[in-house]
Structure 1
Amino acid sequence: MKRHAKRLGELSKALTEAYRGSDVAHRVRHFDGWVGRAGGEGGYDHEETVRDYYELCNGIMVWSWGESLHFAPLTPDESPEESKVRHQRAMISRLELQQGMKVVDVGCGVGGPMRRVVREAGVRVTGININEIQLAEAKKLNAEAGLEDMTDFRKCSFADMSAIEADTFDAGYAIESTCHAQDKQRAFAEIFRVLKPGALFWGQEMCLTDRFDPRNARHRTIKRDLMRGIALHDIATFGEVNHALEGAGFQVIEGSDWEVREGPSTPWYQPMESRHGTLGSALCGLAWGRKVIIAGSKLAEVLRFFPNGSAAVARLLDRTAEAYVAGGKTGIFTPLYCFLARKP
């Protein structure tokens, strides 16, 4: 009980710092309307939408999902956190990292994978991120881990890393980040530019599978709900990701859905599902129902334990969790398309 109370206190502090001085409920309503703005006339900037998404949701996501904000292939005998560690080690192995290399983490979040890469491969990692809240948290966590001398950060878009010279990094990776790009080939081309010739690039993309049928109304609805809730300008197919990589100049060595495996496995979306509804089992490991979680957030607002608007963010994340589960159950969506490419 004390552990849960401590974690709730940490969440309260994180939300208070992130939302200070802003009308959070209004910001959530504005975010919800981004798909309509993107389809209209005028100068729509998708990077602003992605920045809003992480500014609103980062605190709850880190609290519920941990410091590594990505999915991983799950097995029945592992916790989700253990599966993410195994997944990151597989990435490290694919990249053939050697001590002393300079590596770029494209869209580094709060640095969970970065810290594992530094510890286990002995490389220096530069994190790229446009979100100040996540950058501040990543720097704090790296300092607490004693890794600040092996890491640094650049506040910039991965589609425009002009402050970084060409041919700088020996390797790179992007875990569920370039899926947010408005122009995927442009993002890959900029990553290509900052990598040295011969460098390996590993990525994990959220994709539509070949089960997606654009004529199916249910499929279209799920795709729209995923785009809206995760701030994805579009959702690419496996082939479209490979085409964008090759268009940027990369040689694609391998690419597959890592959810498709032999032997016992657990669906990637299971942590967001419980018999009471989605989101419950992901939050603090408790099987709360969705209504209980949202009602608890509302009560915390009344008691001034959470900032006003926190419940609106919880509702947003819950709707997104429902979309993830729907995409996973129908088989039309996976967050686990993983590829390895090389800059010639």
Structure 2
Amino acid sequence: MNMPVPDETYDAVYTIEASCHAPDPVACYKEIKRVLKPGQLFAGYEWCMTDAYDPKDPEHQKIKAEIELGNGLPDVRTTQQCLEALKAAGFEVIMEEDLAKSSPVPWYAPLDPSRVSLSSFRLTKMGRLLTHNLVWFMELVGLAPNGSVRVSNFLEKAADGLVAGGRYMPFLT
């Protein structure tokens, strides 16, 4: 939002799941444009709500709220809102694509507790239970700071929201 570098410093700028945390996307993109040399490119990869999201649907609202809480997001914007913010900041949008549609593996797969593998054991119900108890014990004996269990719980909720948003109601990309 306020990079301590002179105007027109960089040949290229990219963000990966970062500008979605900005409270004001237009101001964020304007700051990115400010530090880019004229004619250079900005690329971003963001959490966005697809057209399938229904803001009037209570289940959609619940899932969106879980995602926002667990990922520290002020608001998961729609793809259209992101594109409009880029244009309002002075960017020309050359390419825009929902990469989730063309991916051979669903983006949410690593978070899905129903997929069991050695690397994803911690996400299964048993893995989550073990993790919860370990974090609780570590907090109890002072190896983890107070509030660690609470953070662990809302991160689990966020993971559930992400899987639901991607799998059951494909409104998050």
**1:315 alignment partner in structure 2:** 153
Q: Distance in 2 between matches of 1:235 and 1:259?
A: 16
2:43 counterpart SS class: strand
CA distance in 1, matches of 2:88, 2:114: 45
SS in 2 for 1:172: strand
- Give the root-mean-square deviation of aligned CA atoms: 2.3
Aligned partner letter, 2:91: F
Q: Which one of 178, 183, 194 corresponds to residue 24 of structure 2?
A: 183
Deviation string 1:5-54 (CA, Å, 9 cap, x unpaired) is xxxxxxxxxxxxxxxxxxxxxxxxxxxxxxxxxxxxxxxxxxxxxxxxxx
Is 1:160 matched up with 2:2? yes
Find the partner of 2:138 among 275, 300, 325.
Answer: 300
Q: How far apart, CA to CA, are the structure 2 residues paired with 1:304 and 1:276?
A: 33
Question: Structure 1 199/289 Cα, relative in aligned 2: closer, same or farther at 3 Å?
Answer: same
User: 1:271·1:282 contact (CA, 8 Å) conserved in 2?
Assistant: no
The answer to whether the 8 A contact 1:208-1:238 is kept is: yes
Q: Distance in 2 between matches of 1:287 and 1:296?
A: 14
1:257 aligns with 98
Question: Tell me, what secondary structure is at the counterpart of 2:97?
Answer: strand
Query: Separation in 2 of the partners of 1:193 and 1:296?
Result: 46
Q: CA deviation at 1:288?
A: 3.8
Task: Please state if 1:205 is matched with 2:56.
Answer: no
TM-superposed CA distance for 1:327, in Å, is: 0.9
Provide the C-alpha distance between the structure 2 equivalents of 1:190 and 1:179, rounded to a whole number of angstroms. 14
Question: SS of 1:193's equivalent?
Answer: helix
Quick one: structure 1 residues 206 and 324, their matched pair in 2 at CA, closer, same or farther if it must change by over 3 Å?
Answer: same
Aligned partner of 1:240: which letter? Answer: Q
How far the C-alpha of 1:276 sits from its partner, in A, is 8.5
CA contact 1:209–1:332 (8 Å) conserved in 2: yes
Write the distance in 1 (CA, Å) between the matches of 2:145 and 2:84: 44
Count of equivalent residues: 170
Structure 1 counterpart of 2:112: 273
Q: Which amino acid aligns with 2:133?
A: A
Give the superposition deviation at 1:207.
0.4
Q: Which residue of 1 aligns with 2:86?
A: 245
Distance 1:234 1:282, change over 3 A: farther
Matches within 5 A, 1:20-31: none
Q: Which runs of 5+ in 1 are unaligned?
A: 1-158, 335-344
CA distance in 1, matches of 2:124, 2:67: 25
1:327 aligns with 2:165: yes
- Larger RCO: Structure 1 or Structure 2 (Cα < 8 Å, ≥ 6 residues apart)? 2
Q: 1:292 offset after TM fit, Å?
A: 2.2
Letter in 1 for 2:105: T
Distance 2:121 2:40 in 1: 36
Contact 1:167/1:194, CA 8 A, preserved across alignment? yes
Q: What is the aligned partner in structure 2 of residue 216 from structure 1?
A: 57
Show structure 2 runs of 5+ residues with no match: none
SS in 1 for 2:74: coil
Alpha-carbon offset, residue 305 of structure 1: 3.8
Measured in 2, the distance between the counterparts of 1:185 and 1:316 equals 29
Cross-structure match for 2:69 = 228
Following TM superposition, by how much is the alpha carbon of 1:309 offset from its aligned partner in structure 2, in angstroms?
Answer: 3.0
SS of the aligned residue for 2:101 comes to: coil
Q: Secondary structure at the match of 1:256?
A: coil
CA shift in 2, pair 1:331/1:286, >3 Å = closer
Q: Which residue identity does 1:185 align to in structure 2?
A: V
Is the 1:245–1:252 contact (alpha carbons within 8 Å) kept by the matching residues of 2? yes
